[in-house]
Amino acid sequence: MNIETSTMRRKLGNSNLMLSPLGLGCWQFSGGKGLTGKFWPVLPKQDILNIVQTSLAGGINWFDTAEIYGGGESEQVLAAALKAVNSPLAKEAHIATKWWPAFRTASSIGSTIGVRLQMLDHRTIHLHQVHQPFSFSSATSEMNEMAKLVKQGKIENVGVSNFSAAKMREADQALKEHGLRLVSNQVKYSLLDRRIEQNGVLDTAKELGVAIIAYSPLEQGLLSGKFHRNEALVKAIKGPRKFSSGFRASGLQKSLPLIEVLENIAAKHGATPTQVALNWMIHSHGQTVFAIPGATKVKHAEENVSAMKLDLNRSEIEGISAASWDVLK
C-alpha cells in the first residue's frame, strides 16, 4: 500500500477498522435474482472482476453486500471476484454484509450466519448489520444475538441500517451490556436527500461515535448530471428507477441548479459532478460519513476512486451544501 492510499483511511465509528471513506456498494452484483436483483442489469462475471480490481487498485478497501441482494448472489460473486483477483489487497479487503429482518425473529441472526459465511467463501465478516428496523424482535434482542456472534468470533463488529435516532440509542445501549458498541448506521443520504441532518440521526451518530454509511449517495446516478443533459438517457432507464420523481422532467428541472454548481466546481478540478458530489459527502461532516456508491461499469469504479483524491476547499463544500438546500426547499 503506497503512502497516498494509506492516508485515505479513517476509523469506522466505534471500531478498530481503518477503512477508505468510500466503499463499493455491491447490490448491483445480485445477478438479477429476487425482487431486489431486478433493480440492476445482470453484469458479466468479467465486468464484476474488473470493477472489484479497479476499486482495490484505487484505494477502496471494503465492500458492502447483503443477504437480500439476490438471496446471497451478491455475496458469492463478490467473494469469487476477490479470490480471482488473488492479490494482497484482495486478501486484506474488508467485508460488510447484512441480515434481513423482515418476518423473522432475532434468533435468525445466529441460525443464518453459517449461510452468510458460506456465501462469502468463509471470509471474515468485519461488519454485520441489521438491514432495517422492522422485524418480530426488538433492536435489543437483535443486538444480544449479534453480540453472541462477536464473542464466538463469527463476526467482528455490529452495525445497523435505516435505524432512527432512538433505535440507534437502543442498539448501542444493548451492545454496551456486552462490552461492545454500535459501529455504524447505514442510511439513505445524498445532496438530494438530507433527512438525517434534520431527524436527529446524524447528530446522534456524532454523539455516540457511530459512523454513518451513506447508500444511494448519487441518487441512482441523478447527481451525475448526465440525465439532465441527455433526454435519451432518461427514456432508456429500465427498472424501478424510471418511476422515481427525480427522473421526471419536473424533477430534473428542479435539481438542475445543483447540477450546475457541481459542474462548475468539477470543471475547476478537472473532475466530474459525480466525483464532486461524493467528495462533498465524505468531507462535509468531518470523518463521520462514509459512502458506498455502486458501479456497473469499470469507468464508474474509476470515478469512485478518483473522487476520494479531490481536494475541495471549505468554500466549495459550503457552496454545494447551500445549493443543495435551495433545491430541497
- Residues belonging to the active site: 69
Q: C-alpha grid cell for residue 277?
A: 458530489
Ranges of beta strands (E only) in the chain are 10-11, 18-19, 24-25, 62-64, 94-99, 127-130, 158-161, 184-188, 211-215, 289-291
Contact 190, 164 (CB under 8 A): no
Q: Interior CA angle at 202 toward 197 and 204, to 5°?
A: 130
> What is the SS3 assignment for 156-225?
CCEEEECCCHHHHHHHHHHHHCCCCCCCEEEEECECCECHHHCCCHHHHHHHHCCEEEEECCCCCCHHHC
| 98 three-class SS | strand
How far apart, in Å, are the Cα atoms of 322 and each of 91, 180, 280?
41, 38, 12
Q: C-alpha grid cell for residue 70?
A: 439476490
Number of H helices, E strands in the chain: 15, 10
Contact 56, 7 (CB under 8 A): no
Phi first, then psi: what are they for 112, rounded to 5°?
-105, -5
Cα dihedral 104, 107, 108, 109 sign: positive
Give the separation between CA 126 and CA 253, rounded to whole angstroms.
42
CA torsion, points 190, 191, 192, 193, in degrees to nearest 10? Answer: 50
